[in-house]
Amino acid sequence: MRRLTAAAAALLLAACATPAPQYFVLPDSQYSKPAARSEELALKVILAEPLNNGGLVYQTDAYHINFARNHLWAASLNEALAASLSNKLNRLDSRYLFVPAGRSQSSKTLTVYIESFNGSYTGETQVGGYAQWPDGRSTPFLIRTPQQGDGYTAMVESLEQGLNRAAASILY
């Protein structure tokens, strides 16, 4: 009986030692529809499979990536990126009305493929992929942004800066 009680106590202590998950929100990921413009484009984001696991991603060396287990995105990353990119593109461009695909009525779609959206052992974050326009044009981007400070919060801030630059490179 004592062994069973000791084992149960050890399990309870081990469970308490596991850190609680922290949830991160991508800044600017609440879509704000601007005034109507001449042509609406649905914006769809497709993530590379390693980014589609719910956790933040960190590249530990040239060959390995780490998936955070306790540092998670608060919302679906592809939907948060679609809203954030739509907001950024709407601020940069007045020709189109960019709307996340789930909210759009347009048959024309700007599809953004995100291949990298992670921190890195090099001290910078990476936002990379390409945009496929409805007319068939493809616009690649690979943005590296220095991370200011340590930790996941600094990584998310740096990813946001990279996403701003990626939006500008998609348009120009």
Owner of token pair 């326009």: 133
In this prediction the pTM is 0.87
10 Å CB burial of residue 8 (0-12, 13-18, 19+) is exposed
Using alpha carbons only, what angle is made at residue 104 by residues 156 and 138, rounded to the nearest 5 degrees? 65
Q: What local confidence, expressed as pLDDT, does residue 94 receive? A: 85
pLDDT in tens, 107-135: 999 999 999 999 999 999 999 999 999 99
Domain boundaries, the chain: 22-171
Residues of the chain with pLDDT > 70: what percent?
Answer: 90
Please choose, from the candidates 75, 33, 67, the residue with its C-alpha nearest in 3D space to the C-alpha of residue 50: 67
How far apart are the C-alpha atoms of 13 and 57, rounded to whole Å? 29
Owner of token pair 């939006």: 167
Q: Work out the number of other CB atoms within 10 angstroms of the CB of residue 113.
A: 16
Domain 22-171 belongs to what topology?
Rossmann fold (3.40.50)
Confidence band, pLDDT 50/70/90 cuts, at residue 154: very high
Confidence band, pLDDT 50/70/90 cuts, at residue 11: very low
Q: What local confidence, expressed as pLDDT, does residue 37 receive? A: 77
